[in-house]
A and B are shown apart, each in its own frame.
Chain A
């Protein structure tokens, strides 16, 4: 039976975590490994219920380290794979996240954020892991992180996460939060889903080099060899040359590899960065937010505009890579940028860096799971 039949009616009233499950299955995910954790457990539960119905595989692992290890392993058998967790589990995943980046393994990691540090507030929303999602694993790297601000976006951005992961051979993080994960809203299951699959290697056996990019197309992304095919691939987290063999003492090999891994993302910022921008023309100030806090931000913008304040709205649906160039351009036009986020100020610092003092940058910060209200934001716009 096809996936749309299994998911049921086109329009449904469901939880964000369930919408993530639907999005994954629509994107072609057939392998999930996970470990229970509030507030992401419903994703594991949904996957354990639906994956066997479509002949996929669900496996409950002993911890989050093993969960990410298992989906990386399964990805090398050609499966589209996902795991889901929250802050404490995401901390455990940083080791294998670096492995997935270094080995260019497509996979999707969902982090339904809760209050931290440590065990923090298991049932309260937070956006405290924004910098961890960018810099949490050791070494230099670029990564893709998407942030949904509605249940519908939880579905849509999960599909997008798989597509970007397959296209760029990079782990993609869906950085949701407890309020989106547990919120129930109406969703519409798309009639047609755009699906991108990794490009499989198809060249002469003797010419095959697993980590040589640009064989057939001008790209920095090597073509993929599935385990069990006629090609032999050695996958290692050590610095490797184009043959995939460890070369750990040569600065040039390391430098070339790290630069290619970074540039395959930064060269494609226009393709990767998706934003919801409103009222930007002739705006005097702009509110930048993402995730759940983008919703009161939009309400605040609409309220301010009825009070004849020329305020614009930017919802960063893609948080990382951060579009410095775009925010820099915006700062040339406006007098003030207000960043709204549920942490002590994380994206705020990137905005300040992009603005380079050209306009005022203010932070509306809300902690403890309290979603900021439009009134909080309007205060700053006065």
Chain B
């Protein structure tokens, strides 16, 4: 297995280091798992484009030695759709977050899934708008404290993976940063899957989410993700816990393939 040093030298833009991420942020684990999945699959970085929206999650593509597009807030999937449809040969990976993907970008999210365009979408769900200092997001659990829910959130949160399943995504998985190897395997499967792949990662924002909810010890935070999740097989026995694992994996016609066959029929 490739060492962290080798991984860094091979894939990371040195000019962009040190990163802007806080101590204890889960984004580094997600980037690590993504790059390891790419390395195991021996993918050609020159043939890859990393797209993102706005937020802490969306800074990850700046660190990779490859073409990348840092889009407007919530629109990463619209830009990524244009890139994939413009050149279907490219492998397009999208980094997004709970606010970017399901808040401002909710409409683009369900429609990119509906079309089943071949993107690998990695959504880092940290329950908050971290970059703006910790406001309530579409996934903030009820009763949580944030700067815009100072008396506890009353909004019902979205379940991103269930949303992706309901919208028709052929590949859906959810893991946490406490499950790095499982996450790496899920990203690998997502990259290999021809259609829209959605991988949700539950990841901590110690600075903006957990601190406000009076959890300041990283070990406690890390253990929270282990203790409050359950693998899909045992989910029925633990209805109070968040199911993790491969939640959906089916075959479905991909948009650029469908377009290609339409063109071959219509082209003069």
Q: Would you call B62 and A235 a contact (CB within 8 A)? A: no
Which of B66, B69, B72, B107 is in CB contact (< 8 Å) with A76? B69
Alpha-carbon distance A235/B71, docked complex (angstroms)? 8
Is B247 an interface residue, CB under 8 A from the partner?
no
Quick one: which of A57, A73, A76, A245 has the most chain B CB within 10 A? A73
Provide the residues of chain B in CB contact with A235, threshold 8 Å.
Answer: 68-70
Q: Would you call A227 and B79 a contact (CB within 8 A)? A: no
Is B262 an interface residue, CB under 8 A from the partner?
yes
Provide the residues of chain A in CB contact with B49, threshold 8 Å.
Answer: 76, 227-228
Is B263 an interface residue, CB under 8 A from the partner?
yes
Alpha-carbon distance A99/B54, docked complex (angstroms)? 13
Provide the residues of chain B in CB contact with A6, threshold 8 Å.
Answer: 268
Given known contacts A52-B266, A69-B71, A227-B87, A74 and B111 CB-to-CB distance under 8 angstroms: no
Q: Would you call B83 and A77 a contact (CB within 8 A)? A: yes
Q: Would you call B72 and A70 a contact (CB within 8 A)? A: no
Is B47 an interface residue, CB under 8 A from the partner?
yes
Chain A contact residues: helix, strand, loop or mixed:
mixed
Alpha-carbon distance A199/B107, docked complex (angstroms)? 35
Alpha-carbon distance A229/B44, docked complex (angstroms)? 11
Q: Would you call A227 and B71 a contact (CB within 8 A)? A: no
Q: Would you call A96 and B87 a contact (CB within 8 A)? A: no
Cβ of A239 to closest chain B Cβ, rounded Å? 12
Given known contacts A74-B86, A96-B75, A53 and B266 CB-to-CB distance under 8 angstroms: yes
| Smallest Cβ-Cβ distance to A79: which chain B residue | B86
- Chain B 133-163: CB-based contact to A (< 8 A → 1; otherwise 0): 0000000000000000000000000000000
Alpha-carbon distance A228/B87, docked complex (angstroms)? 9
Provide the residues of chain A in CB contact with B81, threshold 8 Å.
Answer: 59, 61, 66, 69-70, 73
Given known contacts A52-B262, A228-B49, A70 and B268 CB-to-CB distance under 8 angstroms: no
Alpha-carbon distance A95/B89, docked complex (angstroms)? 29
Provide the residues of chain A in CB contact with B90, threshold 8 Å.
Answer: 77, 227-228
Is B218 an interface residue, CB under 8 A from the partner?
no
Cβ of B46 to closest chain A Cβ, rounded Å? 6
- Chain A 195-239: CB-based contact to B (< 8 A → 1; otherwise 0): 000000000000000000000000000000101111011111110
Q: Would you call A69 and B65 a contact (CB within 8 A)? A: no
Quick one: which of B13, B65, B75 has the most chain A CB within 10 A? B75
Provide the residues of chain B in CB contact with A267, threshold 8 Å.
Answer: none
Q: Would you call B85 and A74 a contact (CB within 8 A)? A: yes
| Smallest Cβ-Cβ distance to B256: which chain A residue | A57
Q: Would you call B71 and A237 a contact (CB within 8 A)? A: yes
Cβ of B108 to closest chain A Cβ, rounded Å? 6
Binding site for B on A (CB under 8 A): 1, 5-6, 31, 33, 52-55, 57, 59, 61-63, 65-67, 69-79, 81, 95-96, 99, 225, 227-230, 232-238, 243, 245-246
25 CB-based A-B contacts, threshold 8 Å: A31-B82, A31-B85, A57-B86, A69-B81, A70-B79, A70-B85, A72-B82, A73-B51, A73-B82, A73-B86, A74-B82, A77-B83, A77-B90, A78-B87, A96-B75, A227-B49, A227-B90, A228-B47, A228-B67, A232-B65, A233-B67, A233-B68, A234-B68, A234-B70, A246-B70
Taking A59-B85, A77-B87 as given, write out 20 further A-B residue pairs in contact, using a Cβ cutoff of 8 Å, ordered by the A residue number.
A31-B85, A53-B266, A61-B81, A69-B71, A69-B81, A69-B82, A73-B51, A73-B81, A73-B86, A75-B82, A76-B69, A79-B87, A95-B75, A225-B67, A228-B46, A233-B67, A234-B70, A235-B70, A243-B15, A246-B70
